Each structure stands twice: as C-alpha cells, then as structure tokens.
Amino acid sequence: MASKAGNERPQAAIRPAEIVREYGFPGVDKIAGVTHDGRRVWAATGPKLVAFDPATGETTQTLDVACDAGTAFDGKYLYQIAESRIDKIDPATGDVVATIPAPGKGGDSGLTWGEGSLWVGNYRDRKIHQIDPATGAIKRTIESNRFVTGVTWVDGEMWHGTWEAEESEIRRIDPESGAVLERLQMPKGMGVSGLESDGADLFYAGGGGAGKVRAVRRPKRSPS
C-alpha cells in the first residue's frame, strides 16, 4: 500500500543545516551509506565499510565488502545495499550471513533499521519502502516529491535526505502520509548521500563524491 505523495505543507519549517564536524578518510573519494552502531559510525565507501570513532575521527575497523549504497544496523548485524541486493553482515568478521533482494533492483539509495523493519530509499523513483528484513518483501511504500537518498528513524521521527538539482536537504516527514514537516537545508555544494542518527542530537550524513561524512545538528523539540 502506498502512502500519499510527500507534498510540502505550507507550514513546513525550513532552516539552514548546522554542520558540526566533517570527517575525511585517506584514499576515500566517495561516501554512500552511513550508519551508527551505538558507539561508532560506519561509512560505505564502495569496496570497504569503514568504522570510525566520531569523537576522534580515528578509523577503528574496515570490512572488505561491496557497499555502493545504504547501510543500516539492527543492534547486532549490519545491512548493506550492494547493487540489487541487501547483504546482512556480521560486523565482527565481515561475513555475509544472509542476502535478500533490494526493492529498487539497483536503484536503491538509503537504508535504515526502524520499527522492526528495514527502510529503503529508492532514489529516482522518489520513494521509501518498508521491507521485511528476512525476505525483502515490501510492506508499504511512502512517496516523496524529491529524489530520496539516506533514511533514518530517531525518537519515532522519520527523516530522509534529498539531493536534486544541486540542492540537498535533510527532511522530517510524516511516516504515514509522507508529508514534509521540517527541512534542514545543506549549504550550497554539500549533498547528502547516506544518513543516520546517533539516537541523540546528531545526524551523520554521507557527502557523496566529496568523500566526507558530516555531523549535522538535529533540531531540538520544544516542550509540548
């Protein structure tokens, strides 16, 4: 079942994204997926998954796995989009323990774990699919009005990256209707590929061909 297209509400707040820190990696010229395992940030660089300490920027682990799009972590395993499939990976060893088909058949972008499911961005189709992590079956689809890159859940909120016509944002959307509720506009020339929350006050955003991961401040909620 598809949710309604994510047309912007007139009151959707837009503000400049606050870039807190940038991370770069020797020899890395592309960042696709990004995830957070509770301590470290993982970045998909194409031929390797790189884990780093966000406090120091120090690389702590690398895994030789295909990783050309979104990355997710379910509390135990990593999930990684590789072409038209999603690999379930043991982060201790890099072993692929299971594989499911990716819903976009190679057009997939972001990936996150939330609400007991995997959520997969479909870039040019401007959709986010909720899928069964065991089979890859699509449970439902949320439509967007922008190209979808990274996807993340935090505190019951759904956020996703957009990158279209040299403009990029991090957006909070209604997970039922797809309506845009809030927009963080990236500085000119900075795109968002992968996206993940640290579960607190930061997002980690892949910078695509810039080869960087950027920490972006998550807006605080006003007391209700």
pLDDT 10s digits, 36-78: 999 999 999 999 999 999 999 999 999 999 999 999 999 999 9
- pLDDT(95) > 70: yes
Q: How far apart are the first and last CA of the chain?
A: 32
* pLDDT at residue number 166: 85
Closest CA to 194 of 92, 58, 79: 79
Cα–Cα distance between 205 and 168 in angstroms, integer? 11
CA nearest to 195, candidates 61, 66, 60, 44: 44
Of 97, 104, 35, the closest CA to residue 72 belongs to 35
Q: Flag whether pLDDT at 6 surpasses 70.
A: no
pTM for this prediction: 0.92
Q: How far apart are CA 107 and CA 113, in angstroms?
A: 19
Say if CB 94 and CB 66 are below 8 A apart.
no
Q: Give the closest residue to 84 by CA, choosing from 69, 101, 66.
A: 101
Mean pLDDT to the nearest integer, 188-193: 94
Average pLDDT over residues 76-98: 97
Q: Is the pLDDT of residue 2 over 60?
A: no
Top-confidence residue, 221 or 7: 221
**What share of the chain has pLDDT > 90, as a percent?**
88
Can you give the pLDDT at residue 165? 83
